[in-house]
Chain A
């Protein structure tokens, strides 16, 4: 029985050939990974955060390994939206894969300016508004930890973009479902979660933090149960699709997120461990469905038995 599985999923008006995306910041714009995988085997490439002006990022060390995961405080280093459009985006235009651009800002006005600039770029299939980066002093996570601020950014970006709008949520909140509902009410087409969990590690030889910025975002398998729980809570609270991520290393991990309610998933830290992970997760998802005679991968979404 060589039954074919329908791997297509939709995030608002954006149709993807399969549910596997790249988590912003772990895949640059995909060029480095194209040595290892065929990008057209992915649902979409989600780019590293792009801001209005160039950002230098944080001091080194910017990463630290922790049990079953890692901390990072890269700080959204990027060359700014103009350089992005003239560089990575031109390259992405030659690739056969939808492009979701992660949009970052220090202020509502900056998010809006980036979204406006990208509106006329046909290569950009959707925007992911990053209101959850824990590694920048102004903006970033501050917008994702308050309902009014999250709503304000979403409303402002919604007003200037016709592209599907995904809002990336922070787990560093008391109740993530409140934020999800707030951005849904302002016109978000989907939410993605979770960004990294704020963490810290200290070198006991030097008594100094392992990251130059002291604190950073925890990612990797260590955070997966937290992420699955939050995806399940949010998927139960909103009508819009959820993109689930946090520690996905294997197709089985991706299935878990979909059962919890995710329509699509993103692979992050695993890209550093094995640069072919996104592609193998996509293949593995299809194999999982075929082995169980599941006709459409979308049937997995929210299928957890309670």
Chain B
């Protein structure tokens, strides 16, 4: 069951936050740390925040970002500079204020029965895997990570995964680090060798779909974190719908994490970014 019970849902918070630091951590990728005590203390792995990057009228919508890590009263967000919103975010610095709505969405399911988890991520799909890897490792779950990126310069969160994972395998499109090719090539050997109880996936939708099929063929439950363009982020506007075997669901409140076997994959197309 991945559909959040409407009556039991957590209240979302609107919080004024301050930028603690904002650094470039890989090619085209930034890591912003926000002082956000209320959200940081309640966020769970796989949830996201809806960030008002800049106040003004040039662009109006918030931007949804996975929470990469939360420590004490701080939230860490990994972002790729792709458009006006993320460019504005990259220009913010220590002391700047903005507001967040969060924590939002239905995150990763982590049943107590898991003893071995395989995390598969591509590009910025590593973002929602940070808290997950840390939390699983803290619970004593054996974590294997298969991570893909276009180039070695665009690999993110390597240290976090190195700390949390027993096995961390890398694939790059150009062969500049690890396996030369797509991350999906790493998955079948890991499924066979490690016999994980669960597979967690985040990355381009085409890659998620392939990994979901690989997990299904191996008979291992799989969870995917899907990306959609969002309006409100709180379930009202119906911009971010995902087609599932249970009908249309909202990525913002019913997801972003779904059980892979309920998703009706639409196409191999990557959604446009802002």
Contacts and interface: CB of A to CB of B under 8 A. Distances in A.
Contacts of B12: 35-36
Contacts, number: 102
B235 interface: yes
A249 B232 CA distance: 15
Contacts of B241: 57, 60, 62, 77
B52 interface: yes
A65 B12 CA distance: 24
Contacts of A56: 248
Interface string A62-85: 111101111010100100000000
A26 B237 contact: yes
A221 interface: yes
A272 B58 contact: no
A interface SS class: loop
A27 B236 contact: yes
Given A56-B248, A70-B231, A77-B248, A272 B237 contact: yes
A274 B52 contact: yes
Nearest to B63: A65
B60 A273 contact: yes
B271 A36 contact: no
B235 A28 contact: yes
A193 B233 CA distance: 26
A206 interface: yes
B214 interface: no
Interface in A239-257: 249
B264 to A, nearest CB: 12
Contacts of A65: 59-61, 85, 274
B90 to A, nearest CB: 17
Interface in A110-169: none
A232 B11 CA distance: 40
A47 to B, nearest CB: 11
Contacts of A62: 229, 238-241
Given A35-B11, A271-B236, A275-B14, A249 B57 contact: yes
B237 A221 contact: no
A217 interface: no
B186 interface: no
A57 B239 CA distance: 10
A273 B61 contact: yes
A197 B71 CA distance: 45
Interface string B215-239: 0000000000000111111111111
A295 to B, nearest CB: 32
Interface in B71-99: 85, 99
Nearest to A70: B61
A271 B101 CA distance: 12
B272 interface: yes
A67 B228 CA distance: 20
B61 A272 contact: yes
B62 interface: yes
Given A26-B232, A61-B272, 19 more contacts: A28-B236, A33-B236, A35-B234, A56-B248, A57-B238, A60-B240, A60-B241, A65-B59, A65-B61, A65-B274, A68-B58, A70-B60, A77-B248, A203-B272, A220-B60, A221-B60, A271-B236, A272-B60, A274-B14
13 contacts: A56-B248, A57-B238, A60-B228, A60-B241, A61-B228, A63-B229, A70-B60, A74-B238, A206-B272, A220-B60, A249-B57, A273-B52, A273-B60
